[in-house]
Amino acid sequence: MAGNKNDVNRREVLRGFGLGALGLALGGRSLGPAVTGAAPGSRWVKNNGLFRAAGPAKVGLVKGNDRREITYQALKKIEDDVLASIRSKKILIKPNFVITTRQLAATHADAVRGILDFLRPHYKKQILIGESTISKEGTFDGFKNYGYLPLDKEYNVKLIDLNKQPWKYRYVFGNGHRPTPIRIISDFLDPDTYIISAAKMKTHDRVVTTLSLKNILLGAPLNDYKKNDKRLTHSIYNFSREAVLHYNMFHLAQEIYPDLGVIDGFVAMEGNGPTGGTPVDTRLAFASLDPLAMDTLATKLMGFDPTQIMYLASMAQAGMGQGDLDKIEVLGTPPEQCQHHFKAHRKLIEPYGLTS
């Protein structure tokens, strides 16, 4: 059953507002008790606040001329690990439809076909494909415009509008760093749901890059088409390196985290992303059970320094994934064959000391 305003109480504030994120908001360098004892290279285990020791992260990286095939091949590079991680969970593939009318801004249906090609021989239950767009036209407008509707017959999947699913209250930092209630779609909080982030490789107007982590963390807040709670994660719409969106993503990631990350980088977006940028013919696909490692690598291959992007650096410091490029094992195409120099969003060039 969906939550209501009476659910907002002091106990939920304390439960939903992590001490680690609070320490960051107050300006402290320590990440606080919520992350104490994390070993370097640990990988965050969502929903229970534990760390699992891990060796170097593995990222499948494939460059090629067929979007569907390179997505499939990137997953094949880590096949045994992925199949072992799914267990008996239900699978939810979450693409990125930040808007529903521009294909360049969205995860391509053929990238999702590549994921389904990989899963279907091994997973016989129905797979969910769900999105929670900000567009007033609704998620199914995106499914229609981006060619997702045939997938239900091709693969026996179910397309769902996550904005119409049950939700629960959590908290983010609002104006003045005050706890602000935010409605989170319950699927993202369910430990029995295996979340696959099928992200698009793009630049962003607040946090430089938007990849697999941000696809989930900003997809989780509800937009019921009357009120869009995703905007609450931004608080004040500033363009500094300390934009509150970094803190809120770090905070939400303590409970909301993808199990598997996949990046559609066949035709990426540079410049004024996440919706108004221009195409880059990168022809890449990424896959990893460590989405932070994958996003760190992708950010580097876009030509940006991931250590200067606060949400990535903070998650790495907290042990939520591998942030050390020297400890990321790349399987497939050598990274030096995939390096690009993306244009940043024009409003971030000065704050981050970037070149246009």
* pLDDT tens string 286-325: 999 999 999 999 999 999 999 999 999 999 988 899 999 9
With CA atoms as reference, report the closest residue to 173 among 236, 260, 109, 99.
236
Domain tally for the chain? 1
Say if CB 186 and CB 192 are below 8 A apart: no
Is there a domain that residue 353 lies in? no
Following DSSP, what letter does each residue of 176-219 receive, concatenated?
GG-EEEEEEEGGGG-TTEEEEEEEEEEEETTTEEE-HHHHHHTT
What domain range includes position 107?
Answer: 5-348
Instruction: Classify 90 as helix, strand or coil.
Output: strand
Rg of the chain over CA atoms, in angstroms?
A: 19
Crossing angle for the helix pair 291-301 and 310-317, to the nearest 10 degrees: 140
Is there a domain that residue 47 lies in? yes
Q: Is the pLDDT of residue 53 over 60?
A: no
pTM over 0.85: yes
| 44 phi-psi bin (left φ>0, alpha ψ -120 to 50, beta other) | beta
Confidence of residue 237 (pLDDT cuts 50, 70, 90): low
Give bridge partners of residue 260 from the DSSP assignment: 196
Following DSSP, what letter does each residue of 29-57 receive, concatenated?
SS--GGGTTPPTT-EEETTTTEEE---SE
Is there a domain that residue 354 lies in? no
pLDDT tens digits, one per residue of 100-146: 999 999 999 999 999 999 999 999 999 999 999 999 999 999 999 99
351 vs 103, higher pLDDT = 103
CA distances from 210 to 31, 44, 136, 196 (A): 23, 20, 21, 16
Is there a domain that residue 188 lies in? yes
The residue ranges of DSSP E strands in the chain, in sequence order, are 43-45, 50-52, 57-63, 90-94, 128-131, 158-161, 167-173, 179-185, 193-204, 208-210, 260-270, 278-280, 284-288, 328-332
Instruction: Please tell me whether the peptide bond between 274 and the residue prior to it is cis, using omega within 30 degrees of 0.
Output: yes
Q: Is the pLDDT of residue 207 over 90?
A: yes
Mean pLDDT for the stretch of residues 243-248: 90
